[in-house]
Structure 1
């Protein structure tokens, strides 16, 4: 005698929608920053070296439990590199975009 078994999906549609929404929010917060982009960050001219979107790695490099992304930038005047988790705002201005 066979039993009817209903297969339960491993991920629910609601979870997938929530994950996609979080990805979109993160992409919006990163903004146009991608490797090679040069922009003004406050009073500093910086170039994006790497964008980290893995939350575990972002938390490690920023030493913040709530980090979802990190952007490694290099200050073009001082020559120093540092990670930032700041969201993209209207005060930053892209000077050199990459295609």
Structure 2
């Protein structure tokens, strides 16, 4: 029997359309993407995991006191785009408040 090869989704497929400026919604809320972190070390640190390929910094726009936080969940059919990302947005830097 031949071994089965499973193709893992690419980073772009996992992130989906979540780029700075985009707004998307799912069962957890409606989120504005503030930054996309593609450095694995920084992403792992933000997500408090041993490893991660990426992280997205979001803010829940349905909460008036919504504070930015990092998510690492993959884009699924439960997520839908409300506003596309800003065209040619410069790389956003995220610095935690002191």
Structure 2 residue 62 is the aligned partner of structure 1 residue 77: yes
Aligned structure 1 segments of 4 or more residues deviating by more than 6 angstroms: none
Q: SS of 1:34's equivalent?
A: coil
1:61 is aligned, of 32, 40, 46, to 46
1:65 Cα deviation after fit: 1.1
Q: SS of 1:88's equivalent?
A: coil
Mark the runs of 5 or more structure 1 residues left unpaired by the alignment.
1-20
Mark the runs of 5 or more structure 2 residues left unpaired by the alignment.
1-6, 88-98
TM-score between both structures, scaled by the size of structure 1: 0.72
Q: Summarize the alignment of residues 1-99 of structure 1 with structure 2, pairs less than 5 Å apart.
A: 25-78=10-63, 79-98=66-85, 99=87
Q: Which has the higher contact order (CA 8 A, sep 6+)?
A: 2
Max radius of gyration: which structure?
1
Matched residues, number: 78
